[in-house]
Amino acid sequence: MPLSLLDETVNAIMVDGYEGYGKACTDYQIARLGCWAHARRKLMDAKALQKKGKTGKADQGLAFIQKLYALEKTLKDQPSDERYRRRQDDAKPMIDKLHAWLEKSLPQVPPQTAIGKALYYLHSQWDRLIRYLDDGAYPIDNNRAENAIRPFTVGRKNWLFANSQAGAKASANLYSLIETAKANGLNPNEYLKVVFKELPNAQSVDAIEKLLPWNASLNPELM
């Protein structure tokens, strides 16, 4: 993972349970956050294997997590300090109850079953999962990033045959630029019009940086 590409303003990243991230985060002094969507997905997979019409521990775990997401939905447009306060007041007690349930349930399920694997994942990632409580700017999951790359993942088999390596790289760069513009609330079509118009006259690093999506968002015409 190219953590060296991140600047000094990045103090946290959200990743899955792959243990290879541990040393990298320690070396670069970056907080490692767990993604609740990954934990929820494993419980959903376990629920799908339950007998039809039956409820079990997967349903119980999902009910706890759903409450966390319901709270996050109400905090979507709130400033970071308010999100932090509400998470401490409302989410933390929910998480404490979930943890108590998890500790009680884990010994009751065979470890190699789907529900056993789901609960073990939740248990092994616990400290990382609850770190989002520490800062109102931290998200509860990385679904936003995953949704941004999903069209590329779905379509990449159709894009195997670029005429050249340089062409493939150019396509990837353009795709990244468009998705980053969308992530910053810009109209991609209007944004690219501005970039193509102004880029030939951008003769310095500062001039180019002004055209990047997170800086271009200062222009209301691009929204």
Tell me which residue range forms the domain holding 81: 35-141
b (16+ CB within 10 A) / e for 50-70: eeeeeeebbeebbebbebbee
Judged by average pLDDT, the poorest of 88-102, 155-169, 177-191 is: 155-169
Instruction: Give me the pLDDT at residue 135, please.
Output: 94
80 pLDDT more than 80:
yes
- Which of 107, 141, 175 marks a domain boundary? 141
Instruction: Give me the pLDDT at residue 85, please.
Output: 97
On whether both 129 and 75 belong to a single domain, the answer is: yes
On whether both 120 and 216 belong to a single domain, the answer is: no
Looking at the DSSP assignment, which residues form a beta bridge with residue 32? 13
Q: Percent of the chain at pLDDT above 70? A: 83
Top pLDDT among 196 and 64 is at 64
Q: How far apart are CA 43 and CA 121, in angstroms?
A: 10
On whether residue 176 sits in a domain, the answer given is: yes
Top pLDDT among 80 and 5 is at 80
State if pTM tops 0.75: no
Q: How many domains does the chain have?
A: 2
Mean pLDDT of the region 166-189: 85
Give Dmax (Cα) for the chain.
66
Instruction: Give me the pLDDT at residue 142, please.
Output: 85
On whether residue 105 sits in a domain, the answer given is: yes
On whether residue 121 sits in a domain, the answer given is: yes
Long-range contacts (CB closer than 8 Å, 24 or more residues apart) made by 3-11: 3/27, 3/28, 3/30, 4/28, 6/30
Q: How far apart are CA 223 and CA 209, in angstroms?
A: 18
Instruction: Give me the pLDDT at residue 218, please.
Output: 56
Looking at the DSSP assignment, which residues form a beta bridge with residue 13? 32
Judged by average pLDDT, the poorest of 135-144, 153-162, 194-203 is: 153-162
On whether both 160 and 137 belong to a single domain, the answer is: no
Cα atoms in the Cβ-side hemisphere of radius 13 Å centred on 126: 13
On whether both 132 and 169 belong to a single domain, the answer is: no
Residue 4's pLDDT band, with cuts at 50, 70 and 90, is low
On whether both 172 and 92 belong to a single domain, the answer is: no
Instruction: Give me the pLDDT at residue 173, please.
Output: 86
Distance of CA 197 to the CA centre of its chain: 33
Backbone torsions φ then ψ of 15, nearest 5 degrees? -140, 175
**How many of the other CB atoms lie within 10 Å of CB of 191?**
24
